[in-house]
């Protein structure tokens, strides 16, 4: 039998065993609703950008809001939720929702959030016309 025929199943077994181990990233559930002037902000992208100045060095979280503004954060490729820590929050519309441009830039956005270890179940993300 050729050596690679014996090696390939062993490598596959090791790779699959790693898939069911402890995840490298611990995620906390994050759900909420985004509003602009108290109206649901539908079909916008929300991104959590780790705030390194506050000690958070984690993958970014992202969400796409539903029509009513509701959302849940995911952290690709790790899954639903966000790593607990401090984040700058960006809100971007690709459909002309009238969001002030400063919200889309992590260096300019005034939105900040701290995700606790238990997560956030009812985050009220308010975007305001400046």
| pLDDT tens-digit series, residues 31-79 | 999 999 889 999 999 999 999 999 999 999 999 999 999 999 999 999 9
pLDDT confidence of 10, banded at 50, 70, 90? very low
Report CA-CA distances (Å) from 104 to 3, 7, 44, 49, 100: 54, 49, 11, 11, 8
Q: How far apart are CA 89 and CA 60, in angstroms?
A: 10
Q: Residue range 85-97: average pLDDT?
A: 90
Express as a percent the part of the chain with pLDDT over 70: 82
At 44, list the tokens. Answer: 């916008």
Q: CB–CB of 42/69 below 8 Å?
A: yes
At 28, list the tokens. Answer: 């906390």
Q: Which carries the bigger pLDDT value, residue 129 or residue 113?
A: 113
Nearest CA-CA partner of 41 in 84, 83, 107, 90: 90
What topology does CATH give the domain 26-127?
A: Immunoglobulin-like (2.60.40)
At residue 95, the pLDDT reads 79
At residue 66, the pLDDT reads 96
């Amino acid at each position: 039998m050729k050596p690679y025929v014996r090696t390939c199943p062993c490598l596959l077994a090791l790779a699959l065993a790693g898939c069911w181990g402890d995840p490298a990233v611990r995620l906390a559930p994050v759900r909420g609703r985004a509003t602009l002037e108290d109206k649901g902000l539908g079909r916008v992208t929300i991104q959590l950008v780790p705030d390194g100045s506050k000690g958070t060095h984690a993958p970014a979280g992202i969400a796409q809001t539903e029509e009513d503004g509701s959302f849940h954060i995911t952290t690709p490729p790790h899954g639903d939720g966000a790593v607990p820590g401090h984040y700058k929050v960006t809100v971007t519309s690709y459909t002309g929702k009238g969001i002030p441009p400063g919200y889309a830039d992590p260096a300019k956005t005034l939105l900040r959030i701290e995700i606790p270890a238990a997560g956030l179940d009812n985050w009220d993300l308010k975007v305001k016309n400046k």
